[in-house]
Structure 1
């Protein structure tokens, strides 16, 4: 940025801060900031204003690093991006007023303002980029965590494990189910695995295909697989679609599946 602009904004810092603060108070009227307390909003305003003014005369690369660090702190705390973008638009308006104050050369004002405007646009673009990248990373991490939690293999008895499935099964989730299933069978040394589809709302050809594949994979590592939780409507759908589950033992409830699994492992339930 031109030294003249930096000098002007530095010399009029107090006035700039005063005018900008009034503009930021207007920004707060937006619904997304109603829940923020007065003290928190005031502290954020002060930090934001001091930060932006502090990087005016900074090298562009250094300013970019500082801005990313600044944005990361507020991203983690959940502060809305709109506050900063609207705050910088307010900064733009205030500076236009300061640059044109007492200036008679319109071309000079426009030239200075254009340079300042480009500088502000770069900051806004950087903030949007940092916010977008951060939320994408957070979303992907949460998605992976949910996927891992959505297909656990749980050992319930010695040699017997259960995998409860809940929700829609797509290709990506089917792959994870297969991986968890095979890893769990080996880790828990399971002889029988029960796949419980009580919580699966729809069993179509693709879902059945994935389940059959999982059953075959379990058989190849030396264990047996039983499909449990087949509701009447699911049974009707399987028949109507012509899905062949003849090689895949099925039970209507988890309890019946466990009883069968115990028999296959030479165990039985006894009432005391």
Structure 2
């Protein structure tokens, strides 16, 4: 019997919600986007409950994961923490589903441990970002840098950010506002974001992507303003085994905007 407890301790403590567990069912591992949490999958997961195990992970430093002053918040290290989570539970051949930054983490895991992954689904997955500029990396060592991050994010505000990630602004309600605001209320969040900026090494290169042999499904919103559709089309060319689905009247937050459509495409992809 696999022990699927709520939290795991590796070099940092990850929070994971196990929505269902059946030893004979395939396992979905959900990885949310930047400045978000597993809350972003709340409309999508109910569609999978009947046929799949669902592990929705808050990777560091987001959601209910640990905020550490000594952890290295690089893609490499976060991906290794997720890999360790899977290994300590003897999970193999999982299906990775990543939104935005979570999509890049899926690719990082596929590159490092392809044996652990059956298939991968990228929902508006971020890619092709350059490493952090040396000037910004240096600035992260200043004691007031976390306050600067807090000021910058507070300047835009939750309302403006939500308007930027959805196509239909009428869908924004108090549940969304409160759910996406919650990660910023966690103690140590802004200090951890400062360390994340310091450690950001950039996305996988074209050469890295071209050696990933995992079957990948790319689902993109036609009107994505955060990770534009051009990124999805470029990924489709660089990944050897990828297909791209474009959702009409959708922005960046497609698990919220088009959960049933997203489910149907993923279910068809996994059923082949």
In terms of fraction of residues, the more strand-rich structure is 2
Structure-1-length-normalised TM-score: 0.29
Structure with max Cα Rg: 1
Between the two structures, name the one with larger relative contact order (CA 8 Å, sep ≥ 6). 2
